[in-house]
Chains A and B, each alone.
Chain A
Amino acid sequence: MRKTAGTAPVNKIISFSAVDGFGNRTAIFLQGCNQNCLYCHNPETIHPCRACGACVEACPAGAIQMAEEAGERYVAYDISKCCNCDTCIRTCGNSASPKIRNMTAEEVMEEILPYFPFIDGITTSGGECTLHLDFLTELYGLVKKEGKTAYADTNGQVPLWNKEDFLRVTDKTMIDLKAGTEKDHRKLTGMGLHNPVENIKRMAELGKLYEIRTVVVPGVVDNRRTVELGSSLIAACPEVRYKLIKFRHFGVREEYLNIPEPSDQEMEELGDLARKNGVREIVIT
């Protein structure tokens, strides 16, 4: 499917997820990210596909084909043929994936509706889902109509505090805090710290913050600084959780496999630090 107006590139839909917010949630992953974190765990979600065709050759199932429409070349993906071997993703040199379906909010809704009896709501994630705010606003609106909740999992780079239409249909956000200083943040993500911090503050004020999350990466950034900043931002909101996520090698690009994984003790110490600074609920994972 070609990208057309009103659609968003859907990378994956997970019917039931236990790790994307409150209760059971349907998680919808959108393609494309505005940060490029050194340790990205799903690098294939960063860039849009540029239709080079390399993966088409590699696919053992004939699930991806080159196609052309209105003079534009694109990769067509047939989900029913795909065996999820991920050969295409390993082949792609562009941090992209051909397994993308460009879908309208209504199409997504139709697909996830059978899950609704069993879920608290949906969470959109990425990539970076807020790059598709219009789509999200429409989708969330439909979800709310069915009496379910809508969460956005975001890196906080897109200012949300002034997006009233979007906020009206958003229950909660879950925002990354990747580093505690401007320098660290730029080094790690290529982007500044201002917007994530501002988003965290403003969403917390609005009661629309479910959790903030920090991936703990030893040696790359000053993790204590990150946790100190994070704690100070949410200490006044007892309902907001601080999730401390262990950096793991799973899914990471090869060149970063030499970064060590943090020890349990390091994680506990950071948890204690957050607790000392007034955070009520700390989740270490």
Chain B
Amino acid sequence: MTNDMTQDILYTIKNPRVTFRQRLKDMAKIAENSVELVRYTEKSREYFENGAMMDMFEGKTPYRTRYCVPDYELFLRQGSKFLMLEPPKDIWDAVGNLLCLYHNIPADGGLPVYIGCLDELLEPFVREEAEAEKAIRFLLTHVDRTISNAFCHANLGPRDSKAGRIILKLTAEMQRPCPNMTLLYREDTPDDYLRAALDTAMTAAKPSFANDALYRKDMGNYAVVSCYNVLPIGGCGLTLVRLNMHKLPELAESPEDLLDRVIPDAVTAVCDAIDSRCEFIVDDCSYYENTFLYDEGLIKKDRDHMIGMFGFVGLAECVNGVLGLHRPEERFGKGKEADAFGEKIMRRLREEIDKRPCRYGKYGLHAQVGVMEDSGGTPGGRIPIGEEPELPFQIMNFIRMHQDCDAGCGELFPFEETVKRNPQYLADIMKGAFRSGARYLSFYGSDSDLVRVTGYLVKKSDIEKFRNNEATLNEATVNGSEVHRNLHLLDRKVRGEAKE
């Protein structure tokens, strides 16, 4: 966006590529960004200026949290006084109540990034399956057409259920990017259910899979929202401030200097910025007191439910830059020394974050997947596209670099057609990865129309439309189109060996 507000407004009003709703949102953003009231520290300002830290375009005057994760289960149990809703008696009531709440979520963008662990929420209301399917189709269609944002995330529980099966079936059938979806996988998730989910993933690029045991240990009762962000249910991700690690080599004189001076300094800058933004949201704007969600207990204002998200990208570039690595076999992802140093950086980062007292709630470490303006930093601690080692080593590297990412991380793998006939193939890889400590994995068929862009989904056909100056319903298309070009996502290594 340019600095000239009139220009911005005119551009927004005339932009042929957005829908009315997106236009409204863009207008609100311009208004919000016309004043800047957050009180940043000197250190934070320094890091915003040198480019090693970024506010994720969250808005200069944050009057709401970035993510809001209401306790939908409680909501269905008690109804809502403010919304004048009784607890639901059947599946249509339940779906209706949920939709009412979805449209009253006080978070960035005005739309929910989390719509609940749908199968667990709806299973108690499933009586007749055909009726349930109708109701769930109604819900999913409504969410897709009105929320229209692939950052919107539904979860599926670890247990096999009728509602879960229906959702998987409809997801494969509908082929829509919204809502994004994650299955919370546990060792006791039945193989048969897992294979059904993997089948759906191969045609619809969702669900993705979270390692339930690991996240539950870190976050308690949690949800996966937006782009693999992990947050406590009944909690909020207040803000996300991101460390651009690919910029750190410019600030460091040596590898030791990076670990001993730059990282602690950068952690101060990011945590200061998180605290400053939280102060504005929580104290200046009285965010909690101004929403019925807090009054009705659907979100909580305590240490365990307020998360300041510490994001990072560009670990690979940071390692290669500081160690001066150029030969492919010695760079991050392939070189032993490089990988060991990468792990050291991550450990150091976590240590520093843990040392620092948090003013509002607690800090969560999140491997951020990129925004459309990115060109220098690979998402989180991933290996750059085109430099990936063989799959088993890529997975082990992913595990190693993201051990401390309690607020979420993700890695995605495109697979070719042959894999579709062998869903057990993916099940073996996934179970092995989770047993080895992986937090999160996404798979998708390389030939499907739905593609994963860093963390969310877009339709290839929508990207084409966008490039041809047509509006598409899905807001993420706008992001997708640019991220695509900048991060050359379609070049990702396709897996699965075709021998025959």
User: Across the interface, do B435 and A117 meet the contact criterion of CB distance under 8 Å?
Assistant: yes
State which of B269-277, B297-305, B422-430 sits at the interface with chain A: B422-430
Nearest B residue to A24 by beta-carbon distance? B428
Q: Determine the main DSSP class of B at the interface with A.
A: helix
Nearest B residue to A22 by beta-carbon distance? B424
- Given A117-B432, A117-B435, A119-B428, do A18 and B392 touch, yes or no (CB 8 Å)? no
CA A245 to CA B415, docked complex, whole Å: 21
Near B by CB (< 8 A), chain A positions 16-62 give 16-20, 22-24, 27, 41
User: Across the interface, do B432 and A18 meet the contact criterion of CB distance under 8 Å?
Assistant: no
Q: Does A15 contact B (CB under 8 A)?
A: yes
Q: Does B396 contact A (CB under 8 A)?
A: yes
User: Across the interface, do B495 and A23 meet the contact criterion of CB distance under 8 Å?
Assistant: no
Interface residues on B, range: 20 to 34
- Given A114-B396, A115-B392, A118-B432, do A19 and B424 touch, yes or no (CB 8 Å)? no
Q: Does A236 contact B (CB under 8 A)?
A: no
Chain B residues whose C-beta falls within 8 Å of the C-beta of A17 in the assembled complex: 496-497, 499
Chain A residues whose C-beta falls within 8 Å of the C-beta of B419 in the assembled complex: 18
CA A18 to CA B446, docked complex, whole Å: 15
Q: Does A283 contact B (CB under 8 A)?
A: yes
Q: Does A79 contact B (CB under 8 A)?
A: no
Among B429, B435, B500, the most chain A Cβ lie within 10 Å of the Cβ of B500
CA A23 to CA B424, docked complex, whole Å: 5
User: Across the interface, do B499 and A114 meet the contact criterion of CB distance under 8 Å?
Assistant: no
Q: Does A232 contact B (CB under 8 A)?
A: no
Q: Does A14 contact B (CB under 8 A)?
A: yes
Give B426 Cβ to nearest chain A Cβ, in Å.
8
Interface residues on A, range: 20 to 34
Contacting residue for B391 out of A16, A19, A20, CB 8 A:
A16
User: Across the interface, do B428 and A19 meet the contact criterion of CB distance under 8 Å?
Assistant: no
Give B41 Cβ to nearest chain A Cβ, in Å.
45
Near A by CB (< 8 A), chain B positions 472-500 give 495-500
Chain B residues whose C-beta falls within 8 Å of the C-beta of A263 in the assembled complex: none
Q: Does B418 contact A (CB under 8 A)?
A: yes
Contacting residue for A27 out of B390, B418, B436, B497, CB 8 A:
B497
Give A280 Cβ to nearest chain B Cβ, in Å.
16
User: Across the interface, do B396 and A24 meet the contact criterion of CB distance under 8 Å?
Assistant: no
Nearest A residue to B435 by beta-carbon distance? A117
User: Across the interface, do A24 and B500 meet the contact criterion of CB distance under 8 Å?
Assistant: no
- Given A16-B495, A19-B422, do A118 and B428 touch, yes or no (CB 8 Å)? yes
Among A15, A17, A24, A245, the most chain B Cβ lie within 10 Å of the Cβ of A24
What 1/0 flags go to B80-98 for Cβ under 8 Å of A? 0000000000000000000
Chain A residues whose C-beta falls within 8 Å of the C-beta of B497 in the assembled complex: 14, 16-19, 27
What 1/0 flags go to B204-248 for Cβ under 8 Å of A? 000000000000000000000000000000000000000000000
Give A216 Cβ to nearest chain B Cβ, in Å.
11
- Given A19-B498, A117-B432, A118-B432, do A285 and B421 touch, yes or no (CB 8 Å)? yes
User: Across the interface, do A283 and B421 meet the contact criterion of CB distance under 8 Å?
Assistant: yes
User: Across the interface, do B435 and A24 meet the contact criterion of CB distance under 8 Å?
Assistant: no
Give A166 Cβ to nearest chain B Cβ, in Å.
23
Contacting residue for A118 out of B329, B433, B498, CB 8 A:
B433
CA A245 to CA B418, docked complex, whole Å: 13
Nearest B residue to A117 by beta-carbon distance? B432
User: Across the interface, do B424 and A285 meet the contact criterion of CB distance under 8 Å?
Assistant: no
Chain A residues whose C-beta falls within 8 Å of the C-beta of B426 in the assembled complex: 24
Chain B residues whose C-beta falls within 8 Å of the C-beta of A27 in the assembled complex: 497, 499
User: Across the interface, do B395 and A118 meet the contact criterion of CB distance under 8 Å?
Assistant: yes
CA A161 to CA B428, docked complex, whole Å: 31
CA A114 to CA B496, docked complex, whole Å: 18
- Closest 10 A-B residue pairs measured CB to CB? A118-B432, A24-B428, A117-B432, A23-B424, A18-B425, A23-B428, A24-B425, A18-B419, A18-B496, A18-B422
A residues neighboring B (CB under 8 Å): 14-20, 22-24, 27, 41, 80, 114-115, 117-120, 245, 248, 283, 285
